[in-house]
Structure 1
């Protein structure tokens, strides 16, 4: 599998992960891997906290891979 963002720019880069939100293959330059809360539901995502600053007892942060676009969207909606 190749990185979707690199392919759009004419590069041939192997993907090292898949975004858990949109499913795009991403290389190491186009991914974010950090702790994010577990999600309930398919696409109805509502975050209460993000990353290491998450201190809510009812939110279980897990390391997940996101493409840079989805990561930006989730951070903006936090």
Structure 2
């Protein structure tokens, strides 16, 4: 079974519930964060804006790197 990388660094043995879409490390419910990305359409409708962003799972470290430390997630 996949284990949470962040818990493993703290000598805890916790099962992961998902993986970060940026770095790919396994994360437990305590460390995984859901981030909603705004999405634009692609072929054949490149100018279509979706009404709602798509949820993605990320770790805190990647959220801070991609969006900056000020993002509240």
Does the TM-score normalized on the shorter chain lie above 0.5? Answer: yes
Work out whether 1:64 is the aligned partner of 2:56: yes
Looking at secondary structure, tell me which structure has more helix per residue: 1
- Alignment partners' CA distance in 2, 1:24 and 1:37: 23
Tell me the number of residue pairs that the alignment of Structure 1 and Structure 2 aligns.
61
- 3-state SS of 1:69 partner: helix
Extract unaligned runs of 5+ from structure 1.
39-56
Extract unaligned runs of 5+ from structure 2.
40-47
Asked which structure has the greater RCO (Cα within 8 Å, sep 6+), the reply is 1
TM normalised by structure 1 equals 0.66
1:28 aligns with 29
- Alignment partners' CA distance in 2, 1:74 and 1:68: 10
Q: Which has the larger radius of gyration?
A: 2
- Alignment partners' CA distance in 2, 1:18 and 1:36: 16
The list of structure 1 runs, each at least 4 consecutive aligned residues, that deviate by more than 4 angstroms after superposition, is: 57-60
Deviation at 1:61, TM superposition (A): 2.1
